[in-house]
Amino acid sequence: MFECLAHNLDLATGKLLRPHVRQGDRVGMDFTYNAPKSVSIAREMANLTGDPSIEQAHREAVKCAMTHLEADLQTRVRGGRDGDRVTGKLMAYRVNPI
């Protein structure tokens, strides 16, 4: 699914999502959420005793931030109607550190 979107393809039809793509256009954005050093140290110390609450708190904070981000997402509208339109839609994935 993600690969289709990264290549600008509609999952249902296989057609281009954006038919007027120019060389160098960006199909997505990368957001990286890293905990502050103090949180990372506390997490490592907690892992010694098996307490997963610090990791869970960070995941919840990221989820909250992504919810706010999604609510404000916009797309450009062109074709004589230059402007921006709120979509409120986001596709995201999380990569867990090893």
How confident is the model at residue 64, as a pLDDT?
Answer: 93
What's residue 13's pLDDT? 92
Please give the average pLDDT of every successive group of 10 residues along the chain, which has 98 residues: 81 85 75 82 75 82 90 84 85 71
Q: Which two tokens stand for residue 26?
A: 């960006």
Residue ranges of E strands in the chain:
74-77, 83-86
**Helical H runs in the chain?**
2-6, 37-49, 53-71
* Structural domain boundaries in the chain: 1-25, 31-98
- DSSP-derived letter for residue 9 is B
Residue 22 phi, psi dihedral angles, 5° rounding: -105, 155
Please give the pLDDT value at position 11.
86
Q: What is the pLDDT of residue 97?
A: 63
Per-residue confidence (pLDDT) for residue 34, from 0 to 100: 82
